[in-house]
């Protein structure tokens, strides 16, 4: 996850201010958990749909 954010900020430095008040350790863990959820439920669209609905609200 550290590599992801390092690359993100190197390639798109304009997004770094969006994370100014973010605990990056916690953010990295949440990103990892989200990716695990997606991979584990690729064949279970209901789970993914429910998770994505939570992002919209």
State the Cα–Cα distance between residues 53 and 57, nearest whole angstrom.
7
Locate the DSSP E strands across the chain.
Answer: none
User: Across the chain, which distance is largest between two alpha carbons, in Å?
Assistant: 36
Host domain of residue 15: 2-56
State the Cα–Cα distance between residues 21 and 56, nearest whole angstrom.
21
Model's pTM, two decimal places? 0.77
Count of domains in the chain?
Answer: 1
Mean pLDDT by 10 residues, the chain (57 residues): 96 97 96 93 92 77
């Amino acid at each position: 996850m550290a590599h992801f954010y390092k690359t993100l900020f190197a390639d798109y430095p304009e997004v770094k201010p969006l994370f100014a008040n973010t605990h990056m350790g916690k953010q990295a863990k949440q990103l990892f958990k989200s990716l695990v959820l997606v991979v584990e439920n690729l064949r279970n669209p209901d789970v993914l749909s429910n998770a994505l609905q939570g992002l919209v609200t």
